[in-house]
Amino acid sequence: MSIPIIVLGKSGTGKTMSYRNFGEGQLSVVNIIGKLLPFFDEPFAVVDVPSWQGKVEEQKGVRPLALDAVVNYLKGDTPPAVVVDDFGYCITEMYMRWQDEPKYQKNKFQIYTDIASKVYNAFMNVMTDGNVDRVVYWIMHEDQTVDDGVVPMTVGKLLNEKVNLLGMCTITLRSMFDGENGYVFEVSGANGKTPPNMFEGSSIEKFGDYKVENDLKEIDAAIRRKYRKPPNDGKKPAKATNSKEQ
């Protein structure tokens, strides 16, 4: 299985900047809305989803969903690390495109069920894809809960209450701006989670027990050490040869 990881945070807290240090062949970025990235001459691959949607629409006369682009891309050969930025816009697109469709006019709630089903299946595809060395980072904006916790920003309540994307991931990272330490990731405590001692032996800068520096490449290296995966040297991820490896 690929390792799915959710990276969530408010706008401007360094989610996109966190993958700035990946090198050639180590990372691909699935750019959901084709936004400008805060890099120049980045060495990693960028998949422009709107361009892909436009080409398919020209060929087939129907514009595919951005989520379909993500699923199709992840079925192929990719670098060892993949960032889906910003996955939340896959959800937004489904809602905006489907809300006026006739089949949803009699039962408006059905749109949320169908969105939740598509997103759940996308995550499950990653978790059962047979890539034993790949890590997939799903970047999302955060939303506040009534008890001051944070959850991924989605459409409606069904995804967070019934599917619970955070619960499907062993590791979740929350980006934030700490006035004392700058841009950091919250990796444990109330709004982040990582396995015990994951950063032992890591060169990443740590700030107490709950925060580390905003460097996804170093976090990627720590994940691979923790789960005894090969280092990210830019080679294609290995496929599982038996069920135990998945």
Whether omega before 215 lies within 30 degrees of 0, making that bond cis, reads: no
> For a pLDDT cut of 70, what percent of the chain falls above it?
96
What is residue 242's predicted lDDT score, i.e. its pLDDT?
A: 44
User: Is the confidence at residue 231, as pLDDT, over 50?
Assistant: yes
Please check the confidence at residue 241 and state whether its pLDDT lies above 60. no
SS3 (DSSP) at 152: strand
Q: Find out whether 31 and 46 touch, Cβ atoms under 8 Å.
A: yes
Structure tokens at 244: 């135990």
What is the pLDDT, as a whole number, of residue 244? 43
Q: How far apart are CA 31 and CA 109, in angstroms?
A: 29
Work out the average pLDDT over 7-25. 94
Q: Work out the mean pLDDT of the chain and round it to a whole number.
A: 90
Q: What is the pLDDT of residue 240?
A: 57
What's the CATH class of domain 3-245?
Answer: alpha beta
Q: H helices of 128-189, where?
A: 158
For residue range 207-226, list pLDDT tens digits in order: 988 999 999 999 999 999 99
Residues 47 and 244: their CA atoms lie apart, in Å, by: 32
- Report pLDDT digits (tens) over 59-86: 999 999 999 999 999 999 999 999 999 9
pLDDT in tens, 134-178: 999 999 999 988 777 889 999 988 888 889 999 999 999 999 998
> What are the sequence ranges of the domains in the chain?
3-245
Query: Residue 146's pLDDT is what?
Result: 77
Tokens representing residue 207 in the block: 């700030």
CB of 239 closer than 8 Å to CB of 130: yes
Average pLDDT of the segment spanning 32-60: 91
Exposure class string for 180-215: b at 16+ Cβ within 10 A, else e: ebebbbbbbeebbbbeeebbeebebeebeebbbbbb
User: What does the DSSP 8-state code read for residue 161?
Assistant: I
